[in-house]
Amino acid sequence: MELAAGQCIRQGSIGVWKHISPKLAGIGYSSCMVCFFVALYYNVIIAWSLFYMGNSFQYPLPWEQCPIDMTTNNTVKECSGSSPTSYFWFRKALDITDSINESGEFNPIMTGCLLAAWAIVCLAMIKGIKSSAKVMYFSSVFPYAVLFIFLIRGLMLDGAMEGIAYMFYPKIEIWAEVQVWRQAATQVFFALGLGYGSVIAYSSYNPIHNNCHRDALMVSCINFMTSVLASLVVFVVLGFRAKNIALNCVTQNLGLLNDMATHGTNHHWWPWFNMSDPASVTIPEYREWYHHYGSQVGTNITDCDLDEEMSKGVEGTGLAFIAFTEAMAQFPASPFWSTLFFLMLLNLGMSTMFGTMQGILTPLMDNFSLLGRHRTMLTVCSCVLGFVIGLLFTQRSGNYFVTMFDDYSATMPLIIVVVFETFAVAWVYGADRFLDDIEIMLKMAPPGIRDNSEYPDLALAMLAM
């Protein structure tokens, strides 16, 4: 629907909905606002990726081991109580405060990374849609190559099959939760770029006779296959990480059990385990014993649940900056894999930012002639404004604001925008009339404000979002 509307009316989101009905212009302005809010916090994630990629050029990686407290010459207590990757993320990267009420001072390194991220976006967008489309040819193809490399490498890891099984095994009990469906809908909209106005903006530059039916099917199918591929990579790595944690848990508990046996404590585990070779004890064997005798041994002995470990750190920023970094730290040649991973994140983040910024700039230039005549100045001013407001996220409390923006600025508002878009086409304009217009558009060129004879087909650019 958005592909066809943008291609037919030849304007950005504000102009498209104003063309359908002047009373619907608010849908376009809402899309611009959603794009702006997303751009504010999304570029902070790109800044984090820049920081991690810069720290990947050293061996060993700085998040592989806990640092040493110089006063006591021992491992930092907070790090040993959690994990090296969590400590590096919260204390070294974010230097986070205890709550959102404590703003803290600005993080100078993250402020510099944010400035670099906005500078890259500004330079890429400053020449307009034509240059950003060319950039996207690389930024949309490169991640596929990296994903396939990670998938092949990940399938060789112990725990990969457990991760894939966890991915495909459905949890029926959570299907009744409204939050799950809200997040699923938001993810689909976000992956396809729907509701942001970026699809409308890009499609308005497409050739007038471009087959938008083909593009819609192609983008949707490739997006689905890409989501499956990315999910396979994620759960293969999470499976490897979770199995390592579970096996370490088993080894630690067997050591405690052995100490208890040495001190003459009643031990029900001898019929189950070969204590002379603890490494031969599998996770299912240990869990079977634990379910029988765990409650009789004491509170020091814990259950080593692989599924529970798999579910930790699988959403939000924790996935990339804690779970993945922890897994990659255990890879041979870990700096290479870390650099490759964060370079891929930068490409994905930049392609999303290009589409998001296009969803802001194109409608404004189409509807305000003064802004349209000063595209470079508009782009620079937008990026400067984004950086200034984005300083909110580079405070020590910035991660709390990123979470807040992610939860409220791009979930429910996006769903509301998409619902109103569908209502506008189906009931205000008329679904049958809309389909007739598409058929006419593919046969003859209607008048439009945009002459795009110099621009290439931007289906790949829309896919990259």
Can you spell out the DSSP letters for 373-435?
HTHHHHHHHHHHHHHHHHGGGGBTTHHHHHHHHHHHTSSHHHHHHHHHHHHIIIIIIIHHHHH
Where is the binding site, in residues?
Answer: 223, 348
Tell me the C-alpha distance between 315 and 320, whole Å.
9
Tell me the C-alpha distance between 290 and 294, whole Å.
4
| DSSP conformational letter for 67 | P
What is each CA distance from 396 to 70, 211, 221, 406, in whole angstroms? 24, 49, 41, 18
CA angle (161, 162, 168) in 5-degree steps: 90
What is each CA distance from 81 to 75, 76, 85, 162, 444, in whole angstroms? 10, 9, 12, 27, 68
Work out the burial of residue 218: count CB atoms within 10 Å of its CB; fewer than 13 is exposed, 13-18 middle, 19 or more buried. Answer: middle
Retrieve residue 128's tokens.
């307009």
Q: Are 203 and 462 in contact (CB under 8 A)?
A: yes
Where is the binding site for Na(+), in residues?
Answer: 223, 348
Q: Are 443 and 49 in contact (CB under 8 A)?
A: no
Three-state DSSP string of 193-254: CCCCCHHHHHHCCCCCCCCHHHHHHHHHHHHHHHHHHHHHHHHHHHHHHHHHHHHHHHHHHH
Q: Which of 464, 462, 451, 460 is nearest to 207 (CA)?
A: 451
Retrieve residue 263's tokens.
């001190």
| DSSP conformational letter for 69 | E
Q: Are 237 and 324 in contact (CB under 8 A)?
A: yes
